[in-house]
Structure 1
Amino acid sequence: MSPLGFGLSIEPQLWALLFVMVRVGAAFIAAPVFSAVSIPVVVRVSLSGAIGVLVLAAHPIVPPGQIFSLTTILAVAAEALVGFAIGFVLQIAFAAPLIASEVIGTSMGIGFASAIDPQNGRSTPALGQFFTMMLTLLFLAMNGHLLLVEMIVKSYDALPPGHAWLSLAQLKNIAFFGSYTFAAGLLLALPVGFLLLCLNLIVGMLSRSAPALNLFAVGLPASLAVGVVSLAIAFPAMGDYLLVIIDESLRATSNLVLG
């Protein structure tokens, strides 16, 4: 074969690679860890291209024949929708620690303590950053990032290009999974929140029995001390429940991809 033959075969393969990178890149934009502000765009594009090469090697992907056509636009939109859905399901579960931090921080009196989260560039409670960091480390320790890549590759079997529109049942499952965030956040904050609730009840009874008692001088230091001690005691159990949150999010993503 002449050198011209090799040059002419590059364009279809490049178009196929770019078409595959749409789904992979959309998943990385929405998924936790990969969507962090600290990760440069060049790294995400390079990872999308590397995974796209693996997808092309494992699946016979046939992109649309014409680049500038309505069919191609709809196909690209469907690929982006699937990628965003895969990453968004994981991102929903990663919001549970923020809800738990709001419940605990408000009861402890440190709800005003916030800082810029390096993961998303927004201001979040300091306690929520701690929980999110622990959830991220556990997610990486459980090879969750590798399982995410595996599910993205497997999604081309369940939702091949051209038939990648999500059904109403799948979209409904994604919406209903959002309720799990609130349930998981409340369950994560339950051990510490229950002790702080008991402390508030005790301080309330003291205020009724001794009206001259300064509640701000007694209640705020007591709630802060009880909150810190209860966090130290309950953190092993909270760590175990963080593993449950990761497992549930990966299971929900697998159900979305594989049915």
Structure 2
Amino acid sequence: MLELSTLVAGATGEAGLAVLLTLARLSGLLLVVSPIGAALPGTLRVALCLVLAVCLARTPVPGAEHLLADPWRLAGAAVSEFGLGAVLSLGINIGFAVFTTAGRLLDIQIGFGMGQVLDPVTRQQMPVLTGIFRQLALVAFFSGTAFASFLIGFARGLDLIPVGQAWLPGAAVAAAVTAFGGMFSLGFAMAAPVVVVLMLIEFALGVIARNLPQMNMFALGIPLKVVAGTAALALWIGSADALVARAFQLGFDVWSGVLH
């Protein structure tokens, strides 16, 4: 009977350890810098982390008996898991940064860069289109297949790198550097059709200014670029599904480089 009680206590302790370390990895992913976590209230973020940790925790935990016996080793394992979650969050940030890059580029070209609005999510001042692109990215993430891929990828990562096991940060650096290059190219591709329209308008305004120097091109150009750029963006954004999916896939490519 005593042996059975000891076995049950050990199994319960290992299950709790698995939940604790999974929670540490999720905390680094959702509570720190991820746009997914920033879009949710603090209480909901904590509740989501707890529910996901309980549902996704894996046993057995490698070296569980040593971790349970040594609090310092357990603390080190929790910090390592938190760091891994933060690296995974970097991948998600890169995916969302594609939309921010496109929004910044369009704000400068259209002229919205001169005005700033308060983003209630990040509580920072940002141009109009940048804030709109960030909100559209969140809507696309949760309404499409990206959120399901996020959950599946995290669960798969628990199988590839079990909690409590060491991981190599060098692979994360290589994957992040590659993703950073793709971030700028995808951001420009997302804004490219609108930028081409605005370049044509700039060319037309230059021709008019050359032939009619008495006209105020600044007063004429800004409203014209705002109307034309907004109309071009409205026509283009509906057909950008492939670029949106590729932007989120760029973040998951970082995960593939880390969780291998």
* TM-score, length basis structure 1: 0.85
Residue type matched to 1:87 in 2? S
Q: Distance in 1 between matches of 2:41 and 2:216?
A: 52
Retained in 1: the 8 A contact 2:25–2:82? yes
Aligned residue number for residue 37 of structure 2: 34
Q: Which amino acid aligns with 2:166?
A: A
Instruction: Specify whether residues 173 and 247 from structure 1 end up closer, same or farther in structure 2 by C-alpha distance, changes over 3 A only.
Output: closer
CA drift of 1:67 comes to: 4.9
1:14-53 correspondence to structure 2 within 5 Å: 14-29=16-31, 30-36=33-39, 39-53=40-54
Q: How does 1:4-153 map to 2 (within 5 A)?
A: 13-29=15-31, 30-36=33-39, 39-56=40-57, 58-62=58-62, 63=64, 64-69=67-72, 71-153=73-155
Paired residues for 1:89-238 under 5 Å: 89-238=91-240
Q: Which amino acid aligns with 1:237?
A: S
Q: Which amino acid aligns with 1:61?
A: V
Label 1:19 to 1:253 Cα distance change in 2 as closer, same or farther (>3 A). Answer: closer
Alpha-carbon distance in 2 for matches of 1:236, 1:115? 25
Contact kept? 1:82, 1:166, Cα under 8 Å: no
User: Does structure 2 retain, via aligned residues, the 8 Å contact 1:139–1:145?
Assistant: yes
Counterpart code for 1:35: A
Distance 2:86 2:77 in 1: 14
- State the one-letter code of the partner of 2:258: L
SS in 2 for 1:95: helix
* Contact preservation (8 Å) 1:109, 1:220: yes
RMSD after superposition: 2.5
Contact (CA 8 Å) 1:31, 1:86: kept in 2 or not? no
CA contact (8 A) 1:89 1:253 kept: yes
Distance of aligned partners of 1:155 and 1:89 in 2 relative to their CA distance in 1, 3 Å threshold:
same
Task: Deviation per CA, 1:13-71: give whole Å up to 9, x if none.
Answer: 444422221011111124332232xx233322222222222233x431254124532x3
Which range moved further: 218-227 or 113-122?
Answer: 113-122
Which residue does 1:247 correspond to in 2? 249
- Deviation of 1:248 after TM superposition, in Å, equals 3.1
In structure 1, stretches of 5+ residues that fail to align are none
2:126 aligned counterpart, secondary structure: strand
Counterpart-to-counterpart distance in 1, 2:248 and 2:27: 22
Deviation at 1:172, TM superposition (A): 1.6
Distance in 1 of aligned mates of 2:130 and 2:47: 31
Q: In the comparison of the two structures, how many residue pairs are matched? A: 252
- TM-score, normalised via structure 2 length: 0.85
Aligned-pair distance for 1:186?
0.9
- SS state of the match for residue 116, structure 1? strand
Contact 2:95 2:249 in 1 (8 A): no
5+ long unaligned stretches in structure 2: none
| Paired AA for residue 103 in structure 1 | L
Q: Percent identity?
A: 21
